[in-house]
Chains A and B, each alone.
Chain A
Amino acid sequence: MIEAINLKKYYKMGPVVVKALNGVNMRVENGEFVSIMGPSGSGKSTLLNLLGALDKPSSGTVFFDGIDLSRVDEAVLYRLRRKKVGFVFQSFNLIPTLSAIENVLIPLVPTGTPKMRGYRKAKELLETVGLEKRMLHKPSEMSGGEQQRVAMARALVNDPSIILADEPTGNVDSRTGKEIMSLLSDLNQRMGTTLIVVTHDPEIGKATQRTIQLKDGKIVD
């Protein structure tokens, strides 16, 4: 379960203070499939990063499975990301010089997972997302949709309890976008993985169980 309590994130830009998040309260139960929508600049990415222990709030806090993230040090945050969180980004963020399977293995590198076990797991995941024929290809040799599916396999390789996806369909065409969304909802239904998806697409919003609307750093109903 993830809960945000009076979450604020301010950026100081010289004399101006940008209130990216200005007092967000929300709660996502385990196994939920939630979308976050809102105009550009409303604070969606900022919120997602705070929920995923990637960033620190200016005030307020996030409870992640009962852990108060504002009260723990860096080491707890990266272990949480390592063990429980999977991120999917709009721009894929694959490492261009590594093959698909190597990219999927990246989160396991510092965990000391035995090579063969990691390899088998990565292979399985690439099969799940339909890329068994692309395992040794570099990102530059793959389409946007294929790259995003590699990124999804990467997000899953550590068996996360929650997946945070920031506009995962933003850089692919609408058909590929549908494929990606169906992979995600499949995951949610079969594995019970919690899903929070930031999106601009109302279709996708409708396909989720619940939509959180953000505007000017606040939740609106």
Chain B
Amino acid sequence: MLEIVVNNVMRRKARTILTLLGISLGVAAIVTLVSLSVGLKSNAMDIMGKVAGDITVMEEGQMFTMSNLTEDVMGQIQNISGVQMVAPTVMLMDMSRGFNTVGTDARGVDPGLEERFSSSSWDIIEGRPIRSSDSSNTMAGVVLADQLDLRVGETIEYMGEEFRVVGIISFGNTLLDQAYYINIDTARRIANRPSDYINMIRVKVSTPGTEEEVAKRINLTVPGVEARSSEVMSEQVGDFLDIIGKVTWAISALAAIVGGVGIANTMLMSVIERTKEIGLLKAVGWSNADVMKTVLLEGLILGFLGGIIGVGLGYGALVVVRNEVPGFAGEITVLLIAEAMIFAISLGVVGGLYPAYRAANLNPVVALKTE
């Protein structure tokens, strides 16, 4: 039986290949888009978790470079019970380089404080961290260094100033590893801000698990700020990314269903072409169920092959994206492959249902008369 089915699949090679292309592109879309959205999610979670320690504080209603805080506010936060340590950031964006490209971001940090605050979350790949006396030295994130081929000792130019690279660090997080780290005083000068200016205050709590509680306390006691525990932020971002994930599934499933319609069409054609043969099968004693089985098996094989090719294509596309976007966490899981394969095979079988039904119910006498 299987030989006959395989034989039927191979009969019209060009048509089979086109059909497979249809379904495999749909499957590839599923595999690529879903793994990209999963990657996006894990990157985002990563960033949320690491961007600023346990709690991030910004000016109420403002984000990132728009947020305007002071050393004074940081002092107040430091004194709140449950707070172990605080660290300031002044974020710079060189918009002349384009948004979110390598070398756009620089973060001004307090060198002494930062070493204590981040020593558990960064690895020094090369060189050393910046010191308080380093006004025109910088540490480069490892992704940035890779992209621009930076070595320790080189000089770079950022917003019209020259900096010497003294260290290369890795947070294991694309966003953080794409930035330059410079002295906060230098950053204030470049941004034309007063000497107590801060964008963002990062807070570490004394006891793990109290992030939310401490964030609430900050919001209650310090006026004009908004403290968010990274957990809550991750949850919000996570919810949003879940929606993106579902939409992605839906869109790519739609693409695959188009492929499934292709299978139905191909099989209907091939069943019609084989009308006379099907009449013969019935004349020599094949039951309706036997005929039906062969056609459904044909659909299953088409779906299976389309699935395999699709997973391969999707994987290829993902590799390309990963090469283009360094540090991107998109990944094809076994579960995703299994889901995509089951989906493709079901499409094949469902696509084969109507053709199989038609074939099975042919009147053998009429079928044998067709040319």
Restricting to A37-65, which residues have a CB under 8 Å from any CB of B?
49, 52, 54-55
Interface size on A, residues (CB 8 A): 27
Q: How far is the CB of A2 from chain B (nearest CB, A)?
A: 17
- Most chain B beta carbons < 10 A, residue from A85, A106, A110: A110
* CB-CB nearest in chain B for A166: B368
- Our pick among A85, A87, A97, A110 for the contact of B286 (Cβ within 8 Å) is A110
Known: A54-B365, A95-B280, A102-B3. A109 touches B11 (CB 8 A): no
Bitwise interface map of B from 1 to 43 toward A, beta carbon under 8 Å scored 1, else 0: 1011001101100000000000000000000000000000000
Q: How far is the CB of A56 from chain B (nearest CB, A)?
A: 9
Provide the residues of chain A in CB contact with B1, threshold 8 Å.
Answer: 109-110
Provide the residues of chain A in CB contact with B8, threshold 8 Å.
Answer: 97
* CB–CB A97/B285 < 8 A: no
* CB–CB B285/A158 < 8 A: yes
* CB-CB nearest in chain B for A94: B280
* CB–CB A93/B286 < 8 A: no
Known: A95-B280, A97-B11. A49 touches B286 (CB 8 A): no
B68: Cβ under 8 A from any A Cβ: no
B63: Cβ under 8 A from any A Cβ: no
* CB-CB nearest in chain B for A82: B285
Provide the residues of chain A in CB contact with B279, threshold 8 Å.
Answer: 93
* CB-CB nearest in chain A for B288: A74
Q: How far is the CB of A57 from chain B (nearest CB, A)?
A: 12
* CB–CB B285/A110 < 8 A: yes
* CB-CB nearest in chain B for A103: B280
- Our pick among B11, B276, B285, B364 for the contact of A107 (Cβ within 8 Å) is B285
SS of B interface (majority):
helix
* CB–CB B368/A89 < 8 A: yes
SS of A interface (majority):
helix
Provide the residues of chain B in CB contact with A55, threshold 8 Å.
Answer: 363-365
| Interface size of B as a range | 20 to 34
Known: A54-B364, A54-B365, A110-B290. A87 touches B3 (CB 8 A): no
* CB–CB A87/B7 < 8 A: no
- State A107–B280 Cα separation when bound (angstroms): 10
Q: How far is the CB of A160 from chain B (nearest CB, A)?
A: 10
Bitwise interface map of B from 260 to 287 toward A, beta carbon under 8 Å scored 1, else 0: 0000000000000000110111111111
- State A107–B283 Cα separation when bound (angstroms): 9
Provide the residues of chain A in CB contact with B11, threshold 8 Å.
Answer: 97
Restricting to A101-117, which residues have a CB under 8 Å from any CB of B?
102, 106-107, 109-111
Q: How far is the CB of B242 from chain A (nearest CB, A)?
A: 49
Q: How far is the CB of B301 from chain A (nearest CB, A)?
A: 16
- Most chain B beta carbons < 10 A, residue from A75, A79, A81, A111: A81
Q: How far is the CB of A10 from chain B (nearest CB, A)?
A: 14
- Our pick among B4, B285, B363, B368 for the contact of A98 (Cβ within 8 Å) is B4
Known: A93-B276, A93-B368. A87 touches B288 (CB 8 A): no
Q: How far is the CB of A73 from chain B (nearest CB, A)?
A: 11
Provide the residues of chain B in CB contact with A89, threshold 8 Å.
Answer: 368
Q: How far is the CB of B245 from chain A (nearest CB, A)?
A: 45
A154: Cβ under 8 A from any B Cβ: yes
* CB–CB B277/A79 < 8 A: no
- State A157–B37 Cα separation when bound (angstroms): 58
Q: How far is the CB of B289 from chain A (nearest CB, A)?
A: 9
A83: Cβ under 8 A from any B Cβ: yes
* CB–CB A83/B285 < 8 A: yes
Q: How far is the CB of B8 from chain A (nearest CB, A)?
A: 8
Residue positions of A touching B, CB distance < 8 A: 49, 52, 54-55, 74-75, 78-79, 81-83, 85, 87, 89, 93, 95, 97-98, 102, 106-107, 109-111, 154-155, 158
Residue positions of B touching A, CB distance < 8 A: 1, 3-4, 7-8, 10-11, 276-277, 279-288, 290, 363-365, 368
Given contacts A54-B364, A93-B279, 15 further A-B contacts (CB under 8 A): A55-B364, A78-B286, A79-B285, A81-B284, A82-B286, A83-B285, A87-B283, A93-B280, A93-B368, A97-B8, A106-B281, A106-B284, A110-B290, A154-B284, A158-B285
Complex A-B: 9 CB contacts under 8 Å: A55-B364, A74-B287, A81-B284, A83-B285, A87-B284, A89-B368, A98-B7, A102-B3, A106-B4
